[in-house]
Structures are given as structure tokens and as C-alpha cells.
Chain A
Amino acid sequence: MSDLSILGRRLPKVNAWAHLTGTARYADDIDLPRMLYGRLLRSTRPHARIVKIDESRALALPGVVAVVTGADMPEKMGIMPSTQDETALAVDKVRYVGEPVAAVAALDEDTAYEALSLIDVTYEDLEPIFTIEEALTRDDVKIHETSKRANVFKEVHLSFGDLEAGFARADHVREDWFFFEGNTHAPIESHACVASFEPVGPGGGPGGDGKLTLWTSTQVPHYLHRELEKVLGLPRSRIRVIATPNGGAFGGKSDPFGHEFSAALLAMRTKRPVKITLDREEVFYAHRGRHPVKMRIKTGVTTSGEITAVEFQSYLDGGAYASYGIATTYYTGALLTVTYRVPAYRFDGVRVYTNKPPCGPKRGHGTTQPRYAFECQLDKIAADLGLDPIEYRLRILQPANTRTVNDLRVTTMGLGECLAAVRNATGWTRKREELPRGRGIGVAGSAYISGAGLPIYWNEMPHSGAEIRIDRGGGVTVMCGTSEIGQGSDNMLAAVTAETLGIYPEDVHVVSGDTSLAPVDLGSYSSRVTMMAGNATKSAGLRLRAQLFEVASARLGVPAERLAAAYRRIYDQKDPEKAMTFVEAANLAEAKYGTLVAAGSYTPPAGIGGSYKGAGVGPTPAYSYQAAVAEVTVDLETGQLTVDKITTAHDCGRALNPTNAEGQVEGSAYMGYGEAVVEEQIFRGGLHKKPSLLDYKLPTSLDTPALQAILVETMDSEGPYGAKEAGEGPLNPVIPAIANAVFDAIGVRFDETPITTEKILDALGKRDNRGLPKDRIGPTGLSDGKGDPKRAMRRLHASTDAREKRR
């Protein structure tokens, strides 16, 4: 029996009622007096110099109030301070079709839209770069002058353990190439923001003596706050960012965006509120989604399957700007070691610029692509060795409470329980034996972080802060800078507060995502909120609870350590009749201590990662683990792939709310399914091929497989009440599980995503009348067979070594 009163129960979310009655206020629902409507003019060229922008015709259109261009905000910005290569609006050069170039504010949206066609931009076209191969080799074309070699954005080389000895003692070595296609978040709510600028003085000072408020659908109000200061030249003390409820985000709203700066500047210029809402097509250009990645993995194993060494290379197509690219690059290599024992590991990664919308973090950030590759390769190794894929994985698990070869600290480790759970739930063993050709079952495991161990900009301050205030009437307000993106963070704050103080979640008022009212939380990314904001909230609640217990102890004549709080009462655990209400205790405490307010904060523990360069990406207070089994049917005549069912078991520590945790697991499975079979962000000559929800197909209810979520609770001591993450990790095993199931069904390896009908027909030799059946679909090297696939990486090594020597 749990001794908790709120956590662990299937209670409706505290913000469910607003969602269900239409009263939740998303950014585009905000309407302010005298508000203007803004729109962005976007580049029509993939790579071009801006020769001239003439906005005079637009300004002459009745109803147009202001136009701004890149020249008005030339300051470089970007989410990672070390790689800021963007401007709010393009300056001098455009680098992808859809890049914002100018912004207009008008009395109504129709006029703003019309004004865009009256802004005359003269471009001088430059040669564009669209592929990883071109980007690595074309020294003559530079998307960014900062690239030292060709169009390389970042390269990393890490080596751990004795790789040579590892491969030497291997009985079997596999080397495979994979390609993971790019795809995008496609939240149903497009990005939107409203900026308002209110005077605070006579004018003339920085920013004209005013205060800026920006309501915006962002996952990272704090980081945006910093960038607004930098770009607008307005002190951060004069800026308030309010993250509105996000109508879905999935990583797509975690960069600072041009429309946010533009709305802010237009509001400052016009002294009127300005709203900018992106349309659906623009959301595809804003992107920051899953990187297309080519990967090579070489793995050595003994005859029993024990891994002796892994060598992994990743080539990331980053698009036109940095975004989180440094972190993404490291993430492709960092977490391969936390699931199975790897005694020697080498990782080489390179991310390049191309003239396409910038890639960034999407659910599973940078770990999804390598996990797909690795789990597909493990499936091949199991087949090579004649082992059952689940049994095989169970043999080689990384143990709990250990450190990996790349110095990551592992605490609780529930992958074994997850694998056993999906095996039992699906009838795996029987189905592996009995399913006929055309039907298949496949498995994969994975892991994810419960929050990044380090912040995005270097500092020693807490990663999350929370403040709780108790009102005389018993109402409690919790304030935390978290952004509610649909993952349930507001409910988590209310539930942890309620549990800690012994009240109900509906007694708690939640103030989140507001940089003026709430302490900093770094944002809703890297699955960090439950771990970090949850711990901060618990810590604040415990301080207040100590005060309540102090006064209750004196009044009830019971030692404070014997008291407990639940159901709006504080009571003696030995004699629950000895009790007082929460309100009585709060009034006594306020009389004794004054106003009841407490703050708590959380910083991840030291020593959870290594000290080498690049060790900052990968460590986390606790890893989540998950396993998925996919069951598929392939029509051998039409090539139609049907995923019948996905069963996912997820080690989430304690499930603070099982209904919500299952919802994250199911939603992750759905999103992984879409990536595996249909979704692709692809281009033709720099033009997005499908920038609409009709062409970029999201799985509908009729497409989505039956989904089953199983929670495995490991109770991690790092998490608040034992919790780990649930929002991202469960996506990762789904894609390789589907690929492995397709192999089980038709004997074809799909070493690239998505697994489309066309590719299946090709593999079956039925795409045209001349085709021959194939046993594999996927890349054979970096350049798809053209030239030496390893040459590019060798050249990268040589140039890195040369630079290191010069240092």
C-alpha cells in the first residue's frame, strides 16, 4: 500500500476542465484593445544574398502601421549561446525557403497579408546545398562563413575503453549503415504570440522607457527572455514572458523564433499590442524537427552475444541554422551506452549546414535515430547468433547503479522488467514461432534522460525553482516557470504541492511559465520538468509543511515527526483522531511565522557524468527505460504495411499519475509509428514537398495501431516521490520495433525510414515488372555507393587532428 494520498492515483488533471470547456487561453485566443495583426514575409529562395528590401509600397497601403526588417534587429541570437548564427529576420542573406525576411503590422490580418506582397525584396541567388554529401565536400559554397571546412557545423570525436582490443576479442563483427529521414513535430496549434509594450516613464530611455510583455506558445520562456534582451536591447528587468498553454509542442516550440522578436519590436515601435500567428505552412518552415541522419555502426560480439566494442558514426543534416545542433550531435552518440553493456566505444559525429529549414529537437532529441539503428543492428546480431531478440537483450543489460564506459551514472534500470513485460503481454514466444509469412513481431529497447544534467548556458544557478504560498483560507498557490505543453506539468505542480502539504490538487492555484511571477525553470525540454520542477516544488512544500507541523505539534501535543498531512488534515499517525484541519494549521503558522511563503529549488547532483569535452551531454539525474513490441501485417501483393498493435512498457520511476503517464507512453507510440511508416520532411530543390497537413500525413484514428501502455515503476531516489520521465523515451523503441517486425514478416531489413508501401513493393520485387526481391532497403554508405563512404570522415579526422596540433 502506498502511503501517498494524491500521487499514484488516477485523478483528472487540474487544467482538464479549461481544456474541455473551451476556456483555456492559448496565445492566439488573446485579444487586446487596439491590437494590431502581424505577418512575416518569408524567403522564396533557398540561398541568396539580399540586395535590397523596399517596404515603401507596403507602408503606403492603408491600414499598414509598421514594417520591420532584419536591419532593425541585426543582433545574432539562437538557443545555444556558443553557436548563435541566426537573426530574428534575415540580414544580408537568406538560407532556406521560408526564412523570415520582414514583418508587417496592420489593423487587420487581411491587410497585413496583402502588405506582404507589396514588400519588394531583390535577391541575388547563390548556389544552394541540399545534401549531407554536398555539405561535407563543397568548400566553394559557404552557407555560413563560420564553417572551417566546407559546410560543417560541428564535429565530435570521442573514444572510451580499448576499442582495438574489443574488436580483437569479438567472435562476430557487424557493420551496418542506416538512414533516418527527417520529420517534424506538427503540433495542432501553430506558433502564436502577442506582444504588448506599456510605458513606464516619459520615454527616451532604453526601449523608450517601457515594459514589454510577450505571451507566446513557447516551451522555453526563460531562454526566450534572455534572447529578447539581447536582440531588442531592452533590459530583461523590463521584459515579461508568459508561456501560454501550448497546443502541442514536442520540441517544436523550444527555440526563440523570428515572429516572437518581430511582434515585440512592432509593439515597441507602434506602442500597440501586436499578434502574430503562424499559418500551417509557416509551421513547416519554422520546423526545428528531427534531423535526417546517416549512421554507420560497427559492433563486435562474442558467440554468446556479449558486446565487446561499438564504433558509431553519425552524419546529421542540420538545415540552415544551429538550433540545438551541438546538443543534438552529441546526443546521437551519448545514450547508446546506457542500455546494454558496452566496454569499448567510439563515437564520431558531424552535423552539417544545408539550405533547408533548421532541424532541432523533436521528442527523443538526437537519440531516436541512433536508437533505431542500434536496435535494428542488435536484431540482426541476434539472428546471426540464433538467439531470441528479447532473450538476447536480457542477457546483455547494463546493470542498475553503475557507470557506463562513457562515464554516465545509471541509477534505477528497468529495461529488463520492461522487456519481460512486453514479452508476457504480447504472447511473444508463441507468435515468433507461429506467425505466417506476411505477419511479424519485433522488439526494441531504449532509454532516455529525465532532464539534461547541464543547462543550455553555463551557470551555477538552480535548474528549477518553485514558490508556494498559503492563503489564510487554505488556498495554496504554486509558482514555477515551467511551460505547460500538454504533458501535464501544471497538474504535476498541483499534485506534488497537494501531496506534500496534505491537500487536494484542486485546492492549488498554479502560476506557470511567467517570468515575472514565477521562479525560473529552464523549460519544457529534455523531459526535465517532473524531475526538476517536481523536486523544487516538493522542496518548497516541505519547508511549509515543517512550519505547519511545528504549530500543529504544539497545539496537539504530538511530536512533529509523528505527524502526517493528508486530506486537508494534519494528524497523529499513531492516533489519527488527534488532528487539526489544514486551514487551522495554516492560520496558527501565519500567526507565528508571518506570511506563509517558501521557495524550493533543484540542481542536478554533481558527479553524474564525466569530465571530458562533450561530457555535458548525456548525464541526467536518472534514465528512463522502455521496451516496445510491434505486431505487423504486410500485404505481399500490394506492399501495404499495417501495424496491428504496439505494446510499450515504460520504466517511469513512480507514476505520479498513471493515467497521464500512460497517455505519454501511448502518445509517444503514436508519434513513433508516424515516423516509422509515413512522416517525412522532404524537399525538392529547396522547396518543402509537403508543407500542409494534407500532404504531410499525420496518422489519423483510422491509421493508428492499437496501443497498449504498461508502466514499470522502479522508484528512483533522485526523482520527486520516485518519479522519472515519461514524455519522450517511449517513442524511441517503437520505430526499430516496427522495422524488426517487418523483417520478421517478410525477411527484408529496412535500414532506412520511413518504411513506405513503395519501398516494401521495391523490396518484394513488385514495384515494377523488372524488379528482383531484395533482402534489405537502406544506404550502403555515406554517398549511397558513390565513392568511398569512409573518406569524408577520414578527412574530418585529419582536419581535426591538424587543428588540435596547432592549438
Chain B
Amino acid sequence: MTKVMLTLRVNGEAHTVAAEPHHTLLEVLREELALTGTKHGCELGECGACTVLLGGVPVLSCLTLPLQVGDAEILTVEGMAEGTQLHPLQTAFAEEGAAQCGYCTPGMLLSAKALLDANARPTRGEIAQAISGNLCRCTGYTAIYEAIENAAAKGGRDEVPAMKR
């Protein structure tokens, strides 16, 4: 099949790639841009591991064709930290043990980020709703709730990384 040229805006950078038009955003991110932080668990839209933010909104990259994306801003897990400054959600996930195997974590972080960006102090019910499309097989979700609540309580950027003694 003939490849098409695409320009995608990912994590604040513009990338021009040649890709098969039927390949999904997930495949293009992982295989053409080497952004392997975005995971796949089913490639059928069932597990949420491939969640990225498209214009701030969570989408399943395994069900999204890059041609649909246009010039909307794509955010993957690699773009969550600002330089060496981790996003408060990342710090909170570490502190609460919310990542066990880590495989659902990128998608979970992005769903959580979209939630907190829209709702600074969500209830536990709202958190459960927001991440209900992201399957986690390790944690039982408890630590994830705690991490999202922890990040929400801190608000804004995490000024003092918790790991420094």
C-alpha cells in the first residue's frame, strides 16, 4: 500500500512521517515516532492502554486514524513532564504505588490528567467514572484513586519532588 505523508503535532513538536493510511495513531506513534510509552493491550478499543490526549481529550489511539487528527495537539505520556519536572500525577502515582506493572499507567495518567484539567477536585465517583475505560489488572484501582486525589490536593505543579531527602 502507498504511504502518505502526515504531519502530527505530538508533545509540542511537529513530526512529518510517511505512514500507511490504514495504520492507527497507536501504530504511527509507536512505530514511526518511536514513542513506545503509549501501550497496546487489545487494539480493539477495549482496554484503554493506548489512551492519548487529542486536544486535551482522551482518545483511544488504537481506534484513531492519524488522517483524522489534523493539526490537533497530541499528548502522550512522554510529554507529561515539563523538562525534568514531573507532572504532579506522575509523582503521586509513584508515592501511592499506583503503578505496579506499569503497563496501563501511561493511558491511566492521561485519562487522569484530562479529568484534573477539567475538574480540579473530583470526587472518588468522578475519578472512577473518568478512568472506567482504562483497565488495570494489578492494583484494584485503590492506589490509583489515592494518587489522583493526592495530585488533585496538591494542585498545579509539584514544587518539591517527594523523593528528595
Q: Residues of A at under 8 Å CB distance from B?
A: 10, 12-13, 15-26, 28-29, 31, 110, 185-190, 245-250, 279-280, 485-488, 504, 506, 659-660, 662-663, 666-671, 692-694, 698, 700-702, 704, 706-707, 709
Closest A residue to B103 using CB positions: A247
Do A22 and B38 contact each other (CB < 8 Å), given the known contacts A250-B137, A704-B141? yes
- Once the chains are docked, how many angstroms separate the CA of A700 from the CA of B133? 7
- Once the chains are docked, how many angstroms separate the CA of A659 from the CA of B146? 12
Do A486 and B100 contact each other (CB < 8 Å), given the known contacts A189-B41, A663-B143, A693-B42? yes
- Once the chains are docked, how many angstroms separate the CA of A24 from the CA of B105? 11
**Which residues does chain A contribute within 8 Å of B109, judged by CB atoms?**
20
Beyond A188-B136, A663-B100, A663-B139, list 11 extra A-B contacts (CB 8 Å). Answer: A15-B102, A20-B109, A21-B81, A188-B49, A189-B103, A487-B100, A663-B143, A666-B142, A670-B139, A700-B135, A707-B142
Q: Let me know if A21 and B90 touch, CB within 8 A.
A: yes
Q: Let me know if B41 and A188 touch, CB within 8 A.
A: yes
Residue B21 lies at the interface, judged by CB distance under 8 Å to chain A: no
Residue B101 lies at the interface, judged by CB distance under 8 Å to chain A: yes
Contact of B137 among A21, A24, A188, A506 (CB under 8 A): A188
Q: Let me know if B105 and A19 touch, CB within 8 A.
A: yes
Residue B39 lies at the interface, judged by CB distance under 8 Å to chain A: yes
- Nearest 10 pairs between A and B by C-beta? A22-B37, A486-B101, A19-B102, A247-B103, A670-B140, A693-B46, A29-B36, A22-B77, A12-B94, A666-B140
Q: Let me know if A701 and B86 touch, CB within 8 A.
A: no
Residue B76 lies at the interface, judged by CB distance under 8 Å to chain A: yes
Closest B residue to A29 using CB positions: B36
Q: Residues of B at under 8 Å CB distance from A?
A: 20, 30-31, 34-44, 46-47, 49, 76-78, 80-81, 86, 90, 93-97, 99-106, 109, 127-129, 131-145, 162-163, 165
Closest B residue to A15 using CB positions: B102
Q: How far is the CB of A104 from chain B (nearest CB, A)?
A: 19
**Which residues does chain B contribute within 8 Å of A247, judged by CB atoms?**
39, 41, 101-104
- Once the chains are docked, how many angstroms separate the CA of A707 from the CA of B146? 12
Q: Let me know if A280 and B128 touch, CB within 8 A.
A: no
Q: Output the residue of B30, B105, B131, B162 with the most chain A CB within 10 A.
A: B105
Q: Let me know if B137 and A186 touch, CB within 8 A.
A: yes
Do A188 and B37 contact each other (CB < 8 Å), given the known contacts A20-B94, A666-B142, A704-B140? no
Closest A residue to B76 using CB positions: A22
Closest B residue to A280 using CB positions: B42
Q: Let me know if B101 and A246 touch, CB within 8 A.
A: yes
Contact of B93 among A20, A189, A280 (CB under 8 A): A20
**Which residues does chain A contribute within 8 Å of B131, judged by CB atoms?**
701
Q: Let me know if B106 and A22 touch, CB within 8 A.
A: yes
Q: Let me know if A694 and B46 touch, CB within 8 A.
A: yes
Would you list 29 pairs from A and B whose C-beta atoms are within 8 A, ordered by A residue? A13-B99, A19-B101, A20-B102, A21-B77, A21-B81, A22-B36, A22-B76, A22-B77, A22-B106, A23-B37, A31-B36, A185-B137, A247-B41, A247-B103, A248-B101, A248-B138, A279-B42, A280-B43, A280-B46, A486-B101, A663-B138, A666-B143, A668-B140, A693-B41, A693-B44, A694-B46, A700-B135, A701-B145, A702-B132
Closest A residue to B101 using CB positions: A486
**Which residues does chain A contribute within 8 Å of B97, judged by CB atoms?**
12-13, 659-660, 662-663
Do A188 and B104 contact each other (CB < 8 Å), given the known contacts A25-B36, A698-B135, A701-B141? yes
Q: How far is the CB of A751 from chain B (nearest CB, A)?
A: 26
Closest B residue to A672 using CB positions: B140
**Which residues does chain B contribute within 8 Å of A19, judged by CB atoms?**
99, 101-102, 105
Contact of B47 among A13, A670, A693, A702 (CB under 8 A): A693
Q: Let me know if A31 and B34 touch, CB within 8 A.
A: yes
Closest B residue to A486 using CB positions: B101
Do A24 and B102 contact each other (CB < 8 Å), given the known contacts A189-B41, A698-B135? yes
- Once the chains are docked, how many angstroms separate the CA of A704 from the CA of B131? 12
Contact of A280 among B44, B106, B140 (CB under 8 A): B44
Q: How far is the CB of A561 from chain B (nearest CB, A)?
A: 28
Closest B residue to A668 using CB positions: B140
Closest A residue to B96 using CB positions: A659
- Once the chains are docked, how many angstroms separate the CA of A669 from the CA of B127? 20
Q: Output the residue of B36, B77, B97, B145 with the most chain A CB within 10 A.
A: B97
Q: Let me know if A692 and B46 touch, CB within 8 A.
A: yes
Q: Let me know if B44 and A692 touch, CB within 8 A.
A: yes
Contact of A189 among B38, B39, B76 (CB under 8 A): B39
**Which residues does chain B contribute within 8 Å of A26, judged by CB atoms?**
36, 39, 103
Q: How far is the CB of A391 from chain B (nearest CB, A)?
A: 29
**Which residues does chain A contribute within 8 Å of B20, judged by CB atoms?**
110
Q: How far is the CB of B140 from chain A (nearest CB, A)?
A: 3
Contact of B128 among A245, A248, A663, A701 (CB under 8 A): A701
**Which residues does chain A contribute within 8 Å of B94, judged by CB atoms?**
12-13, 16-17, 20
Q: Let me know if A21 and B140 touch, CB within 8 A.
A: no
Q: Let me know if A667 and B35 touch, CB within 8 A.
A: no
Q: Let me know if A670 and B42 touch, CB within 8 A.
A: no
**Which residues does chain A contribute within 8 Å of B141, judged by CB atoms?**
670, 701, 704, 707
**Which residues does chain B contribute within 8 Å of A10, judged by CB atoms?**
95
Do A12 and B163 contact each other (CB < 8 Å), given the known contacts A247-B39, A698-B137? yes
Q: How far is the CB of B122 from chain A (nearest CB, A)?
A: 12
Q: Let me know if A245 and B44 touch, CB within 8 A.
A: no
Do A188 and B135 contact each other (CB < 8 Å), given the known contacts A20-B94, A22-B36, A488-B100? yes
Q: How far is the CB of B15 from chain A (nearest CB, A)?
A: 16
Q: Let me know if B44 and A21 touch, CB within 8 A.
A: no
Do A188 and B103 contact each other (CB < 8 Å), given the known contacts A31-B34, A280-B43, A666-B142? yes
Closest B residue to A31 using CB positions: B34
Q: Let me know if A707 and B140 touch, CB within 8 A.
A: yes
Closest A residue to B78 using CB positions: A22
**Which residues does chain B contribute within 8 Å of A186, judged by CB atoms?**
137
**Which residues does chain A contribute within 8 Å of B101, judged by CB atoms?**
19, 187-189, 245-249, 485-486
Q: How far is the CB of B27 from chain A (nearest CB, A)?
A: 9
- Once the chains are docked, how many angstroms separate the CA of A158 from the CA of B137? 36
**Which residues does chain B contribute within 8 Å of A250, judged by CB atoms?**
137
**Which residues does chain A contribute within 8 Å of B138, judged by CB atoms?**
248, 486, 663, 667
Q: Output the residue of A10, A28, A486, A669 with the most chain B CB within 10 A.
A: A486
Q: Let me know if B139 and A20 touch, CB within 8 A.
A: no
**Which residues does chain A contribute within 8 Å of B132, judged by CB atoms?**
700-702
Contact of A20 among B49, B90, B129 (CB under 8 A): B90
Closest A residue to B49 using CB positions: A188
**Which residues does chain B contribute within 8 Å of A670, judged by CB atoms?**
139-141
Closest B residue to A506 using CB positions: B163
